[in-house]
Amino acid sequence: MQPVLSIAGLGKTYKSGHTALSDVDLSINKGEIFALLGPNGAGKTTLISIVCGIVTPSRGTVSVAGHDHARDYRAARSMIGLVPQELHTDAFETVLTTVNFSRGLFGKPRDPAYIEQLLKDLTLWDKRDSKIMELSGGMKRRVMIAKALSHEPEILFLDEPTAGVDVELRRDMWNMVRGLRERGVTIILTTHYIEEAEEMADRVGVISKGRLILVEEKNALIKKLGRKTLTLNLAEPLESVPEDLSQWKLELAGEGHELVYEFDSHAEATGVPSLLRRLSDLGIAFKDLHTRQSSLEDIFVGLVHSSADEAEKAA
């Protein structure tokens, strides 16, 4: 299948001399939800801004459904909708005028039925004649989404879509994103909320210091890098992990009251049964035990840290 978005060798060095993006290669398939994760300043907005034509790249190419971004900019851009991080729109205009105007900017003929449905889907129809400045922050955000979708784009970029929004709007956004995907729209979102990526994304990309350090199917990533921990609540606290237990990767926590064993849940032998037997032989009793699968968040934090360490070593 031909990717709907292809990015090759993309780089950006700002006039200040700061390199915000280096050697980014990325292919996005039609109809997928792709989550771009990264800490503050990693380069997520720069990447999105280049694809949306707001920032000029210093190096590399972008192609949208076969349209080269540089040579065939209008065609490429008309296939993209962007919901930016910051809310900026004409405060004095009404919702309906603003959204119709956005559609017109892309040279699309008026389509009142489409716009009506769009505003209804975003619970904005009742507010269609309100001025933007009269709306709440959450409603303004919905208007930004309506504007981004007004010209029926094939790819929708959502830059931090749920930063600072309430639970209800976040849930509505997630439903809307799923609905769009069902209609074949490709969604690329950046987020600080790993939970959001975990809930929504088909694939995840991790960006750190301007480099795309990983792109992977979300489920495969959790499976591959996911570790499990077994925590035993000890009947009596230990001062240190006994020598006799050195063959297991163990740590003490909770001031010696918890013995924590980290293991690979996909390994043939997890080491759990033998550890429990050994503890019993040594007379180390426990009151309770529980296991925990590492989340996308643990994986993400680990990845970003190790990439930062490597960058420091290379420097």
Ligand X SMILES: Nc1ncnc2c1ncn2[C@@H]1O[C@H](COP(=O)(O)OP(=O)(O)OP(=O)(O)O)[C@@H](O)[C@H]1O
Cα distance between residue 179 and residue 22, in whole Å: 34
Residue 87, interface with ligand X (CB under 6 A)?
Answer: no
Residue 18, interface with ligand X (CB under 6 A)?
Answer: yes
Residue of 22, 28, 38, 194 that binds ligand X (CB under 6 A): 38
Smallest gap from residue 38 Cβ to ligand X (A): 5
Cα distance between residue 297 and residue 126, in whole Å: 39
Token pair 């039925």 is found at 113
Q: Considering only the stretches 33-41, 114-122, 167-175, 243-251, report the one whose residues sit in contact with ligand X under the rule CB under 6 A.
A: 33-41
Residue of 10, 37, 43, 170 that binds ligand X (CB under 6 A): 43
Residue 205, interface with ligand X (CB under 6 A)?
Answer: no
C-alpha distances (whole Å) from 178 to each of 99, 122, 175, 202, 219 are 22, 13, 5, 11, 17
Residue 16, interface with ligand X (CB under 6 A)?
Answer: yes
Residue 137, interface with ligand X (CB under 6 A)?
Answer: no
Cα distance between residue 31 and residue 156, in whole Å: 10
Q: Do 62 and 104 touch, CB atoms closer than 8 A?
A: no
Residue 44, interface with ligand X (CB under 6 A)?
Answer: yes
Neighbours of 210 (CB within 10 A): 22
Token pair 């699968």 is found at 293
Smallest gap from residue 252 Cβ to ligand X (A): 36
- Residue 110 DSSP label: P
Q: Do 99 and 143 touch, CB atoms closer than 8 A?
A: yes
Cα distance between residue 157 and residue 48, in whole Å: 7
CB nearer ligand X, residue 40 or residue 56: 40
- Token pair belonging to 163: 């930063």
Smallest gap from residue 80 Cβ to ligand X (A): 17
Smallest gap from residue 2 Cβ to ligand X (A): 28
Cα distance between residue 288 and residue 159, in whole Å: 43
Dihedral over Cα of 167, 169, 174, 175: its sign: positive
Residue 20, interface with ligand X (CB under 6 A)?
Answer: yes
Q: Considering only the stretches 35-43, 141-149, 177-185, 298-306, report the one whose residues sit in contact with ligand X under the rule CB under 6 A.
A: 35-43
Q: Considering only the stretches 43-51, 87-95, 230-238, 253-261, report the one whose residues sit in contact with ligand X under the rule CB under 6 A.
A: 43-51
Q: Do 293 and 230 touch, CB atoms closer than 8 A?
A: no
Residue 211, interface with ligand X (CB under 6 A)?
Answer: no
Q: Considering only the stretches 15-23, 125-133, 221-229, 300-308, report the one whose residues sit in contact with ligand X under the rule CB under 6 A.
A: 15-23
- Token pair belonging to 229: 């921990």
Residue 41, interface with ligand X (CB under 6 A)?
Answer: yes
Residue of 1, 40, 167, 268 that binds ligand X (CB under 6 A): 40
Total residues binding ligand X (CB under 6 A): 12
Site residues, ligand X (CB under 6 A):
14, 16, 18, 20, 38, 40-46
